[in-house]
Amino acid sequence: MVKVAVIGVNHIGRIHCRTYAEHPDAELVAVCDLNRELADSVAAQLGVRAYYDVATLLEREPIDIVSVATGGKENGSHHLEPVMAAIAAGKDVLVEKPISNDIGEAREMVRFAKERGVRLGCNLNHRFTPAAKKAKQWMEAGDIGTPLYINMRLTIGNPNESTPWIHLRALHPHSFDVVRYFGGEVRRVQAFLTKSPGRSVWSTASINLEFASGAVGHLTGSYDIFGWHSIECCEVAGDKGRFVLDNVYESATLYPHLEEELRVYRNSIMTGMRGFDDTFRLRLDAFIREVRDGVLPDQISASGEDGLAVQKIIEAAIRSHESGGAVVEVE
């Protein structure tokens, strides 16, 4: 059994806790939060020990994995300290996205994990759905041919007005990870941002993409779309066909060129994903298995380096907007 502790047990952290507690190959042994009342409450619900500082947790608990689900500014400013402490203690770490809202801190975490030889994963959970994996299989089988364009859309309703860049830095690590999962590295971006009526932050984005492969693409993202309809769609097209991955996990459809028949993968209501929270289950399961099976740190899926890569794209998009929509190279 892989022994796990979760640091930060607010909403997302509690999803981590429940997922580990229910996993057949993991044992949740402790939770940690600066809010003592919250830590005690979650610990009591799950029958585990509560801690209120990271140093004591790491000193007393013989754990294999530390999940860091703290928040902070743009959902990422409180990640550095617990991640670095866990890495220093030789623990494998899964950190929530964004890996950090500060690109320097993200680099520091990735560098330190590599230096210490531990696994650093990021919760880029949208790529782990069966529908996404099926679409990836179509690509690898050559069913779309040479990729030509990738169009991504991720829109939710979120009234957060805490910083000008909350929408890009907090939400679109998911978008750009899906884009990179199918299209590889992004070379250049051009961003145009706007605000819906009454808003003070850049809440809707249109971002042009150029990939290292030569393919092109686009992201439409928004915090202004409140409703019950599809929140996410990814279309990947090549010279032999294209596919559409709809609403994170609901379906994937392959449209072969010059053929009347389509290939459709649909989430089963009986044996498939039960809801969006299952994206956490699938992602955490992948990390547990990689730790259990001894997968090398530089070969794990949705790694800290992937988390850093998507933040680089976001920072390039911010620079593009600040430059009046100039085309900006991604580092």
Rounded to whole angstroms, the Cα distance separating 213 from 240 reads 17
pLDDT < 70: residue spans in the chain? none
Whole-prediction pTM? 0.96
Rounded to whole angstroms, the Cα distance separating 89 from 218 reads 41
For the segment 42-90, what is each residue's pLDDT rounded down to a tens digit?
Answer: 999 999 999 999 999 999 999 999 999 999 999 999 999 999 999 999 9
DSSP-assigned letter for residue 127? G
For the segment 132-142, what is each residue's pLDDT rounded down to a tens digit?
Answer: 999 999 999 99
Where are the strands (E) in 115-224, listed by range? 120-122, 147-155, 186-194, 204-211, 216-222
End-to-end CA distance of the chain: 40
For the segment 150-177, what is each residue's pLDDT rounded down to a tens digit?
Answer: 999 999 999 999 999 999 999 999 999 9
The percent of residues in the chain predicted with pLDDT above 70, rounded, is 100
**Whose CA is closest to 316, among 215, 156, 205, 197?**
205
- Give the pair of three-digit tokens for residue 147: 């990729």
What is the structure's pLDDT at 270? 85
What separation in angstroms does the CA of 212 have from each of 180, 205, 215, 282, 295? 11, 22, 7, 29, 27
What is the structure's pLDDT at 269? 85
What is the structure's pLDDT at 29? 98
